[in-house]
Amino acid sequence: MNFEFITVNTQVEKHIALVQLNRPKELNALNNQLMNELRESLFQLDRDDAVRVIVITGNEKAFAAGADIKQMVSATPLGMMKADQFSNWEQIKKTKKPMIAAVSGFALGGGCELMMHCDMIVASETAIIGQPEIKIGVMPGAGGTQRLTRSVGKALAMELILTGRPLNAEEALRAGLINKVVPVELYLREAIRMAQLVAEHSPISVRLAKEAVLNAFNSTLDEGLQFERRNFYLCFASEDQKEGMNAFIEKRSPQFQGK
Ligand code: CAA
């Protein structure tokens, strides 16, 4: 996969793909091309059987400082509607494999929203996370008002979105927005380590479990429980279920094939 504003490495560790945003001078501001490339790379990785977990990162200074303001300044409602840029976000949302964000430095606006599209988040101590769109006369547009509120609750989400104040890494951890904070030299390694822990498991049960957890945000409790049960039954259609349970009984490590 050859892209201009992202790099994709599928050799980083077995079953792990690393997608790195690569517009460092602009603090990885998410311009249209970068978003197109990100959508395309995730679409392809999601269909690659050798890949079980995707880690998304930026660089030490910035995960991503938001949508590209210079590209957006003259936007019109109809122009944006015709370009349908949010279809990229819709596609990213559909990624079936687990995505882990490795965040250092700025994760602002669309950068915070991209981070929240991921299933787990490892941050460095230097992370600065927030939705500052209000300061430039707009508001979050890629899910920030919904995902942040579901993640940290109304009081803090309102404060962050209406004042534009960002959180530091420790605050984000306390608020339950991220999974882990580590020293800056370790954030990527730790995200890859977390990815390996997931990649050891059956990719089928991982996929079904991710789907069921995400469904919790879209359903009543009873609907969610039914959805969970359906996915639980589906696990028993896999060879991996037999392998996992037999390996337990035989006191050996399971060898999951994703079948
Ligand atoms: N869009 C376009 N360019 C950006 C950018 C963005 N979101 N963020 C940073 N840059 C550019 C700067 O313009 C600058 O470019 P030049 O060297 O050509 O001037 C370069 O990146 C470095 O940035 P700074 O000089 O500003 O770096 P800093 O360390 O002084 O400040 C910062 C860092 C606090 C993150 C600051 O750059 C900033 O506030 N950026 C904007 C953050 C923001 O408002 N994000 C929300 C965007 S709207 C959005 O995301 C909508 C949505 O929901 C989808």
Per-residue pLDDT reduced to its tens digit, 152-165: 999 999 999 999 99
Dihedral class, residue 156 (left if φ above 0, else alpha if ψ from -120 to 50, else beta)? alpha
State the pLDDT confidence band at 1, using cuts at 50, 70 and 90: confident
- Of 243, 87, 107, 83, the residue nearest 178 (C-alpha): 107
3-state DSSP assignment of residue 10: strand
Domain 203-249 has CATH 1.10.12.10: yes
As a whole number of angstroms, the distance between CA 43 and CA 38 comes to: 8
Domains of the chain, residue spans: 6-199, 203-249
Of all protein residues, the one whose alpha carbon is nearest to atom 42 of ligand 1 is: 65
Q: What is the pLDDT of residues 45-94, one digit of tens each?
A: 999 999 999 999 999 999 999 999 999 999 999 999 998 989 999 999 99
Does the annotation mark 133 as catalytic? yes
- Of 77, 100, 85, the residue nearest 33 (C-alpha): 85
- Of 198, 196, 200, 205, the residue nearest 259 (C-alpha): 205
> Residue 251: CA atoms inside 13 Å, Cβ hemisphere, count?
0
3-state DSSP assignment of residue 214: helix
Pocket of ligand 1 (CB under 6 A): 26-27, 29, 65-70, 106, 108-110, 113, 132-133, 136, 140-142, 144
3-state DSSP assignment of residue 217: coil
Residue 176 has a pLDDT of 98
The CATH-assigned architecture of domain 6-199 is Alpha-Beta Complex (3.90)
16-21 vs 6-13, strand pairing mode: antiparallel
pTM value is: 0.97
Of all protein residues, the one whose alpha carbon is nearest to atom 12 of ligand 1 is: 26
